[in-house]
Amino acid sequence: MSDPRTDLAAAGARLAALGLSPGSSGNLSVRSGDRILITPTGADLAEIDPDGLSELAVDGTHIDGPRPSKEFPLHSAFYRRDAATRAVVHLHARHSTAVSCLPPWSPRSAIPPLTPYFVMRVGQTPLVPYAPPGDAAQAEELAGLPFPLRAALLQNHGPVLAGPTMARAVEAAVELEEVSALLLALGERSPRLLTPEEAGVLAQKYDSPWGES
């Protein structure tokens, strides 16, 4: 059985190597039993110490370790939304952050069904209205969204994604950055999107949150 602490550190190193975590931006967490292990404030994802993580209760109460990232309310929101969530990734990746500065495609997803892999690996990704980093009210808004999701864009800020494993959350973060880059590359063109039927088939097959259900 893998160690959640080392899994988190390895994920941070991978995301940093991919250029998705500039400087000391971004934060990661995993759920281990009744606790959340989260990167401390100011942590560099390229150099996470598995033994130097902050420990929180699921409601965000600081239990042990250094001061957690100020973004801990976002992580807590995802864990409270879905008991199956075991990892949360928040980044300031260039392309997905750029998309967070644009008008959303729809109320449920800032990004349209541009590729099958976006629908399969990420799913609908709503744009959550702007708030200062670490804002608890924004996290509560995310927690209370009345439709299924495993990812969101924080307006003028960046992406936050959840998964049943850290590997799945990282995979989703990479895919979200890729589809964001494609969307920006298309510019003002009107691309062919997956039809609702095409997206629905993928969502059902891969148990991905998309559409009205």
Q: Which residues are catalytic?
A: 71, 117
Tokens of 59: 């409601």
Which residues, in sequence order, are bridge partners of residue 55? 37, 64
In angstroms, the CA 195 to CA 65 distance is 48
- 112, 186 contact by CB (below 8 A): no
Is residue 46 within 8 Å of 39, Cβ to Cβ? no
Sign of CA dihedral 36, 4, 125, 82: negative
